[in-house]
A and B are shown apart, each in its own frame.
Chain A
Amino acid sequence: DAKTTQPTSMDCAEGRAANLPCNHSTISGNEYVYWYRQIHSQGPQYIIHGLKNNETNEMASLIITEDRKSSTLILPHATLRDTAVYYCIVRDYGQNFVFGPGTRLSVLP
């Protein structure tokens, strides 16, 4: 079973920041937080991951709370092409990825 809880769906206006929350209250010390997204008719695409420090790459930023029980994925300037299902996954070394139902993000014009 997935170890994370995410809202079922969210809307965001085009050009605004999209903030996608994820709860992982049972996360253990060795588990990383990963984010993937899946655009319609495609396979999941890696976005970003982190352990305890905030992370940023060309796609997004990941903010992890100090107690590591929750995190937020930030898309700074959402575009229509960011409409997708976003998956938050916690994973330990050597484990397979376990996907939950994710958050369906709709970016609106």
Chain B
Amino acid sequence: GAGVSQTPSNKVTEKGKYVELRCDPISGHTALYWYRQSLGQGPEFLIYFQGTGAADDSGLPNDRFFAVRPEGSVSTLKIQRTERGDSAVYLCASSFLPTATTDGYTFGSGTRLTVV
């Protein structure tokens, strides 16, 4: 597709459940990023993939959060034992070159996760 696609657009889950959020980056983009955005705040970095490997996962808040990108394209962010504090918009972005100083990242519209 022409842009970064994230599914689902909205997800409501019960506290303690497991969720998976999917990101389809722009075709050919080697770098993929996950951010989390709480209400009224700017996006917060979670993890960055270069190809299939996680090059920087320093933003993951704890070991309940995990992300994969097995074939270097689609990525899945996985959250175990969800807590109400995990409620946020989860944004995915991709770029052709991870270190490019050209156009920066292209973001998707995000998945709004609500934990009840």
Are A and B interaction partners?
yes
B62 at the interface (CB under 8 A from A): no
Q: State which of A43, A85, A101 has its C-beta within 8 Å of the C-beta of B91.
A: A43
The size class of the interface chain A forms with chain B is 20 to 34
Q: Which residues of A contact B98 (CB under 8 A)?
A: 94
Q: Which residues of B contact A99 (CB under 8 A)?
A: 35, 42-44
CB distance from A2 to the nearest CB of B (A): 7
B106 at the interface (CB under 8 A from A): yes
- Cβ contact within 8 Å between A43 and B4: yes
CB distance from B103 to the nearest CB of A (A): 6
Q: Which residues of B contact A34 (CB under 8 A)?
A: 104
Cα A101 to Cα B105 in complex, Å, equals 18
- Cβ contact within 8 Å between B33 and A49: no
- Cβ contact within 8 Å between A87 and B48: no
- Cβ contact within 8 Å between A96 and B104: no
Q: Which residues of B contact A87 (CB under 8 A)?
A: 42
Cα A44 to Cα B103 in complex, Å, equals 13
Cα A93 to Cα B40 in complex, Å, equals 28
Cα A32 to Cα B100 in complex, Å, equals 11
Q: State which of A41, A46, A100, A102 has its C-beta within 8 Å of the C-beta of B106.
A: A46
Q: Mark A13-36, 1 if CB is under 8 A from B, else 0.
A: 000000000000000000010101
Q: Which 7 A-B pairs have the closest CB atoms?
A: A43-B107, A99-B42, A94-B99, A46-B104, A99-B43, A44-B107, A96-B45
